[in-house]
Amino acid sequence: MELKTKYQYTYFIYPFVVKTSKYQKYLLNILKNDKFDIKIFEKQRNIKMYQYFLPKISELLFSGFSFSEEKKKQLEAMPKETASALLAKNNCNVFEYKLKKDVQGKTEENGIFFKITKIDIVCFKSGICFLLMKTNIENSESFSDVLNFNYKFRDIKQNGNVLNSYDKIKIQTDVFEDMNKLTEFIEKITGSAFESMKLDIDTNRFLTYSYVCIDQQSWNEQKAFKDIEYQFVKFANFLPADDMVSYEYSNYTDFSKWKYAKIGISKQGVTLFTSDADMNNYTILPDEFENQYLFTYILDLYKKYYLKKLENDFQKIKQVKKARKNFIEFTKKLWIQEITDDEVGAFFNYNVVKTFNLNRDYKKIKNQYDVLYKEYNIEKNNVILRWIFVALIVLIIFTILNFLSIS
């Protein structure tokens, strides 16, 4: 039986890197673009986010939590050049794109309709940034449409017309006219891929973060999850609807803390598969997944790319001293910090870290740091010994001259 969806959304996430020396200028360009607003998180309006993240992580991710009303007004009133300089000092800034109307996707009558409902940019002080684009499929309850859409849309950066070649999917947009215009929009925001390629970021594919709630007729007290598990496997692996799933080749981690919901995590993205047999799955959980868990995922992605950046910097002789300092700061401010006390959030974070092999990558960088630190200390000690030797020679010469003059 064809699975039916009751609710669905997918975030397509595009990581990109701005050169550190150009980061403030990049923020200035964003501020000058009247279609972007800085997103300031407030305790009252974002109380769940504030309670979910522990204080030090909240401070790192959401500087707005510490903004007074006066500071917010000053930020809005000051010249954009001054504002960009101020924001460049924040550990992280979030900007939201003002969509005046739905970015409407149209296809043939038997194709897929979709809309883009949100576009955000998350930028860290290091220049590592993320473009987040939220999409919803329109006028369809078919789970197969979700599978096909996720499978193809994440590759639109490879070829603007890639969607036209699969399952009669032909997308035209009201605002961007066609997919080429959308890719142009993305490239305009993200700029050159040169810095991203240094960190081995795939610049031709989106990461995918997808939520779906299916009709309880397919998953309830009488109908077990195992009967539709193959559908979850395709969803978690971002495979098309007609893919013949082979469980042994599935490359993802899954876990569940709920009766009718299961999370899948892979290096390609994150999925949450639920049933409306539990009311929580179409009321509370979608919001939590879109906010708390999404920013947990973004933070872990940031760790992944920043560790790669540190690894690169340790290879450059001129960057070693700065890299050592940055590694210490990263360790103190982020790596050793717990993200949340929330049980599910902590377990989610654990599984993302495990999937990314972040502990292995951190250990690799630490080993580089330890070797360079020892070499630095040896070199430092050698310099000190040389100076001591020179000082002794000078002292001996001075003593001899002094003795001769007395004689």
pLDDT for the residue numbered 172: 46
Q: Is the pLDDT of residue 252 over 90?
A: no
Q: Is the pLDDT of residue 390 over 70?
A: no
pLDDT for the residue numbered 45: 80
Q: Tell whether 49 is covered by a domain.
A: no
Lowest-pLDDT range of 15-24, 96-105, 181-190, 387-396: 387-396
Q: Tell whether 45 is covered by a domain.
A: no
Same domain, 235 and 112: yes
Same domain, 332 and 374: yes
259, 290, 321 - which closes a domain: 290
Give 376's contacts (C-beta < 8 A, 6+ positions apart). 324
For residues 318 and 100, the model is more confident at 318
Tokens of 333: 């401010």
Q: Is the pLDDT of residue 165 over 50?
A: no
268, 290, 312 - which closes a domain: 290
Q: Tell whether 47 is covered by a domain.
A: no
Same domain, 284 and 170: yes
pTM assigned to the model: 0.87
Q: Tell whether 53 is covered by a domain.
A: no
Same domain, 309 and 284: no
Q: How many domains does the chain have?
A: 2
Residue 160 near residue 177 (C-beta atoms within 8 A): no
Same domain, 153 and 28: yes
Same domain, 219 and 326: no
Place of tokens 């390629």: 197
For residues 217 and 168, the model is more confident at 217
pLDDT for the residue numbered 36: 92
Average pLDDT on 313-337 reads 89
Place of tokens 């709630």: 213
Same domain, 138 and 241: yes
Q: Tell whether 43 is covered by a domain.
A: no
Q: Tell whether 193 is covered by a domain.
A: yes
- Which residue segment(s) compose the domain that 393 sits in? 303-406
Amino acid letter at 15?
Answer: P
Place of tokens 């594919």: 205
Helices (H), 43-112: 47-52, 55-61, 69-77, 80-87
* DSSP secondary structure letters along 249-309: G---EEEEEETTEEEEEETTEEEEEEETTSGGGGTTHHHHHHTHHHHHHHHHHHHHHHHHH
Query: Angle at Cα 169 formed by Cα 165 and Cα 174, nearest 5°?
Result: 120
Same domain, 309 and 394: yes
Same domain, 337 and 398: yes
- Residue 159 CA to residue 169 CA, distance in Å, equals 14
262, 290, 318 - which closes a domain: 290
Same domain, 25 and 148: yes
- Residue 395 CA to residue 10 CA, distance in Å, equals 75
**Residue 347's pLDDT band (boundaries 50, 70, 90)?**
very high
Diameter of the chain by CA atoms? Answer: 112
Q: Tell whether 279 is covered by a domain.
A: yes
List phi, psi (to 5°) of 257.
Answer: -115, 10
Q: Tell whether 65 is covered by a domain.
A: no
Same domain, 131 and 280: yes
Tokens of 349: 């974070």
Tokens of 305: 């790319």
**Residue 392's pLDDT band (boundaries 50, 70, 90)?**
low
Q: Is the pLDDT of residue 173 over 80?
A: no
Same domain, 187 and 242: yes
